[in-house]
Amino acid sequence: MALNDDVREYTLQLNKGHIQKAYSGIMKFMSELRIYLENKFIDYTAGALYYGYMDMTYFAFTPSQLKDKKLKVAIVYMHKEGVFELWLAANNRQIQSNYNKFLSLKDTGGYTLSKINPGVDSIIATIIDAKPDFDYPEQLIKLIEEKILEFIKDIVYMLSK
C-alpha cells in the first residue's frame, strides 16, 4: 500500500473521532497510573512517560534493589494488542544480554525469557491484563498495582537465588 493510501485511511479514521478519544484516554490513564504509583511508593523510581508511536506507551517503575543492578521494570501498554505488559528491562543492551544469560540458568517461575533480537527491550515480558477495562480506572489501577508488586517480588527472588 502506498503512503498516500495509508494517509487517506488515517485521515478517514481520524475523522470518525474514535482514535483521538481512545488515545487521549489511554495517555490520561497511563499518566494517572504513573502519578498514583510514584506517590504511593516513594522509595521506587518512576521514569518519564514514553508516549510512543501508537505502538506502545510505557514508563519505568523500579525499586532500588533492581535499580542498583541497572535493571528496571516497565509498565507497558501495547496499542495493537490492547494489553498491559510488565517488562524486566536493563539500562543497556550489554546488561540485558548478561541478565538474559544469567536467568536462562535459573528457574524463572513460569515467566518466559525474551529472545534477544533487535528491537526487543525486555529480558522478561509478561501480560498482566489482556482485556483492560478503562471504564473502571480505579479497579484497573489496583489490578496493575497488585501485578507489579507480585512481578517485582518474583524478579527479586529469581535474582537472589
pLDDT band at 120 (very low <50, low <70, confident <90, very high): confident
Task: Tell me the mean pLDDT in the region 111-133.
Answer: 91
pLDDT in tens, 29-68: 999 999 999 999 999 999 999 998 889 999 999 999 999 9
Task: Specify the pLDDT at position 42.
Answer: 94
Residue 10 has pLDDT above 90, yes or no: no
Task: Tell me the mean pLDDT in the region 93-118.
Answer: 90
Sequence-distant (≥ 6) Cβ neighbours of residue 156 within 8 angstroms: 63, 65, 66
Task: Specify the pLDDT at position 1.
Answer: 66
Ordered by start, the domain boundaries in the chain are 3-160
* Residue 142: how many other CB atoms lie within 10 Å: 12
Enter the pTM of the model. Answer: 0.91
Task: Specify the pLDDT at position 68.
Answer: 94
Task: Specify the pLDDT at position 118.
Answer: 82
Q: What is the mean pLDDT of the chain?
A: 93
Bridge partner list, 108: none
pLDDT band at 135 (very low <50, low <70, confident <90, very high): very high
Task: Specify the pLDDT at position 61.
Answer: 96
Question: Residue 56 in contact with residue 77, Cβ under 8 Å?
Answer: yes
Is the sign of the CA dihedral 55, 50, 46, 119 positive or negative? Answer: positive
In sequence order, what DSSP letters do the residues of the chain get, joined into one string? --HHHHHHHHHHHHHHSHHHHHHHHHHHHHHHHHHHHHHH-TTEEEPPPB--SSSEEEEEEEEHHHHTTTEEEEEEEETTTTEEEEEEEESSHHHHHHHHHHHHTS--TT--BPP--TT--EEEEEEEESS--TTSHHHHHHHHHHHHHHHHHHHHHHHH-
Residue 161 has pLDDT above 80, yes or no: no
